[in-house]
Structure 1
C-alpha cells in the first residue's frame, strides 16, 4: 500500500497494516496520534520525531517505534517511509516511549514486501505469514541512542527546539541563562531537573544528532567543520563513542 491515508483503511481486520509514503524535503507532519502502534521506517532520507518528552533522529534504514496514543510531530527530509500500523494487542511488548532501532537486512526486505500488500490482504495466506514473521522479528530490534530529552517547560523547550533545528557552537550556558532571565547556576539546575543532564552535555549530543541530517549530503570534513569540531578525527571519535559506529555508517 502506497500513499494511502491510515484513516481510510484502519477498519480492515488485520493486525498489521503496512503503508508506504513519499514526502518532499522539509515536509512536516503536524502533531497527531494513532490508535495503533507504529513502526516508522525510513527507506530514504532522515526524519526527526518529536513528542512532549523528547526528539528522535531517524537516519536512512533505521526506524522509530511510536507507541499508540502518543502525540508526535515528524519532520521529513526527502523521505520515503515504509510504515507498519500494528494493533496494540498484537504487540503487547511495544515500548511506552519512542525508540529508534536498527533494522537488519531480513527485516528490511520483509518491510519492503509488506508495503506491496493490498489493504485487505489474506491473513491466512503468504501475506499473513509475512506479517506474522515481521511481528516475530520486531521482538529482536536493537535500540540506538539517537534521541535527546526535551524539557516540558518554557523557555527551556523553545531554546532546545531552536538548537536542534540549527546547532550553533557559539551558544553557551551563559547565553541560554540570559535568554531565560536566570542566573547560570539556576538555569543549569532547572535544566538538569527537566532533562537529566547539563545544558552543555545536551547541546553536545544535539550537535551529533544534527550531523545525521548532514552526513548524507556532506563529507565528514564538511560536517565536522560546520559543527565546530577541531578536526574530522575529533568529530569521528566523538560520533563513534556516542553512537557505536563511525559516521561512514550513516552517510
Structure 2
C-alpha cells in the first residue's frame, strides 16, 4: 500500500492504526502531530479514498482552480484517483501543536456517495470516533465499530469542489497554493512575477484564466474565506491581523461588503 506522506516540515510524530486491513470494510488511520504547517497531496492515491480532519487547526484543500478553507467542524473527502492538495497549519503561533487525522478507506460513506472531492460536516460524535480510532491496543472489533460510526455519521456534504478546474498555465496555481498557507502574505503581484520569472501581465492573465478574476480580487476573497473559519476561535482584531488586514476596521468593512453583515454577526 503506497500512501502520500506529509510534505514540507516533518511532523513531530506520525502514528498508524489499522483495522480490517485488506478488506473492503477496513480502515487505515494516520495521525500527524506538528507545530508547523503540513501539506498532503501533490500526487493522487489510486487505490484508497481519503478523509482529512483536524480538530484544532486550519486546513485548506485545493483542486483545480478551487481552494476552500476547513475548520474543525468539517473534513475533506477525496475519492481514489483524484489529484488534490491539502494544507494544515496550527491555529496559533508558538509551541502549540496541531493534529491531523487521515483516514484511508476502500468504501465511500453512504452520505457522500458520488462526491469526488469536497468537504463534509463532522458532527461531534464522528470527531470522537475518529479520535477513538487512534488509540494503541484498541481491539480490532472495537476499531471496526468506530469506523462504522464514522461512515454513518458523514451524512452531509457541504461543498463539492468538482467542476471548478480552470484553464491557466500553472503560475497562478503556484501563487494560490502558497497563499492558502499564509493568507496574510503581503507579496504583490509584481513580486510574485519576479519569483516565477514571468511578467506581471502574464501572471495577471493566468489568474484571470484560472480563477476568473484578477490577483487582488482573488486574494481578498481568499482572506475573507479564511477569516470565516478563524472567527470561531479568535476575536475580530486578531482575525484581521491573521488574514492580512492592516486594521480591524478595514477588515470589518471588507467583510460587510462581501457578506452583508459584520464579523461579529457570524453565527447569529
The answer to whether the 8 A contact 2:50-2:80 is kept is: yes
Give 2:6's aligned residue: none
**2:14 & 2:175 partners in 1: Cα distance?**
35
Q: After TM superposition, list the pairs within 5 Å mapping 1:5-154 onto structure 2.
A: 5=16, 11-24=21-34, 25-29=36-40, 31-34=42-45, 35-77=47-89, 78-88=97-107, 93-97=113-117, 99-116=118-135, 121-122=140-141, 127-143=143-159, 152-154=168-170
**1:237 & 1:14 partners in 2: Cα distance?**
48
How big is the alpha-carbon RMSD for the aligned residues of Structure 1 and Structure 2?
Answer: 4.4
Structure 1 portions without partners, runs of 5+: none
DSSP 3-state at the match of 1:203 = helix
Task: Give deviations 1:154-177, integer Å, cap 9, x for gaps.
Answer: 4322333344435456846x8878
How many residues end up aligned between the 2 structures?
A: 237
TM-score normalized with structure 1 length: 0.68
TM-score normalized with structure 2 length: 0.64
Mean Cα displacement is larger for which, 37-46 or 190-199?
Answer: 190-199
Give 2:3's aligned residue: none
Structure 2 portions without partners, runs of 5+: 1-12, 90-96
Identify which of 174, 179, 187 aligns with 1:158.
Answer: 174
DSSP 3-state at the match of 1:43 = coil
Identify which of 156, 178, 181 aligns with 2:199.
Answer: 181
**1:119 & 1:90 partners in 2: Cα distance?**
22
